[in-house]
A and B are shown apart, each in its own frame.
Chain A
């Protein structure tokens, strides 16, 4: 018969013999005497109380530093090796980092290009040319271009000359410029076409929408 089982050990680590229940005493006496129980109980209790459950000792701080050096020496290989300069990264982690970065870049690119471009609502009042003719003009966006200010000034100068020369023409162009920064301007060229006599402008769309290039953001001009 096994004389030292876990149940006996549990009792020995617990209460003194005198404090045990009747059934526990009966169980113990099947294996050992009361005197033996008391001696063994005291040794175990003293051992457990003395040594406790946590260690009172502390490792030296230098051990952790030495272990870190040894760990780096074993697991981290140099990314490239020059005499004066040496970067070390863990090989597997480097590969994972590069892969993760590449995936993130691709994701960012696809998200960026699939984002809807900001739009500008251009409210253009119906243009009336030659009021005596009661013509109403419906504006249409001809083009949207990014232009440098120098270019715009040139074009305006040319158009001004042209306009003076061709002022009899019904079809005219107007421009709305939306400025995003000092270096580049967004030019909206709108063509106004006559849509008929005595036509109610409200029967047409109140404004125009146009896709603005992504480089121009936060446009809030109507």
Chain B
């Protein structure tokens, strides 16, 4: 498929597609949606305690905002950052709305699970499902800025510079938050620590 200027939609940059969207080009919007829908859904899924239904609603709301606010988009800036900024703000507003933040990590007893083996060494017994649940649980207990920084970096794969723009802080602050979060998680998820041998 070709855009009006002869370039294929899938070869156009995000910013070029946004300019076409402002002119009412639906094909350009479809291409942007195709590029970002899965990743943004996953972003919401992580931020909203793995609630799939809510994540789908938020995804739709996010792209409705893209349609409504397309003419406010500054084409000199990156679309990806604009999109993640809107998504992060949506989650922030949701947190403020919801009084209790928690996560359902399953109806089993963790202590019982880990007492079954002397060590839950990562190299020997790595259960992805378990790790995901525990990580999500621990991240939800952290400060929102720290958990968001960690997820944007290691789950959504944004650069330090992009994260600093989304979160409106310096790159040094981003690095500091990342290091703090990794250190905190390594203590909380000690069962995966090979040095933590049971007696």
Query: Hey, which bits of chain A sit against chain B, CB under 8 A?
Result: 2-6, 9, 12, 35-36, 38-40, 42-51, 53-60, 63-64, 66-68, 70-72, 74-76, 90-93, 96
Q: A4-B179, A38-B194, A48-B154 are in contact. Are A57 and B52 (CB under 8 A)?
A: yes
B134 to chain A, nearest CB (A): 10
Q: Indicate which residue in A5, A6, A47 contacts B154 across the interface (CB closer than 8 Å).
A: A47
Instruction: Please tell me if the beta carbons of A63 and B59 are within 8 angstroms of each other in the complex.
Output: yes
A–B pairs, 29, beta carbons within 8 Å: A2-B175, A4-B175, A4-B176, A4-B178, A4-B179, A5-B175, A36-B186, A38-B193, A39-B195, A43-B185, A43-B192, A46-B122, A47-B135, A48-B154, A50-B128, A50-B131, A50-B135, A54-B38, A59-B37, A59-B38, A59-B41, A63-B56, A64-B30, A64-B33, A66-B60, A67-B60, A71-B26, A72-B26, A74-B68
- Total of A-B residue pairs, C-beta within 8 Å: 112
Q: Does B167 contact A (CB under 8 A)?
A: no
Q: Which of B170-195 contact A (CB under 8 A)?
A: 172, 175-176, 178-179, 182-183, 185-186, 189, 192-195
**B23 & A92 in contact (Cβ 8 Å cutoff):** yes
- Is B55 in the interface zone, CB < 8 Å from A? yes
A38 with B195: CB separation less than 8 A: yes
8 more A-B residue pairs beyond the given contacts A43-B186, A90-B23, with a C-beta to C-beta distance below 8 A: A4-B175, A38-B194, A42-B122, A44-B182, A47-B154, A51-B155, A58-B41, A75-B26
Closest to A74 in B: B67
Q: Is B84 an interface residue (CB 8 A)?
A: no
User: Given A38-B195, A40-B183, do A70 and B64 touch, yes or no (CB 8 Å)?
Assistant: yes
List the B side residues contacting A9 at CB < 8 Å.
178
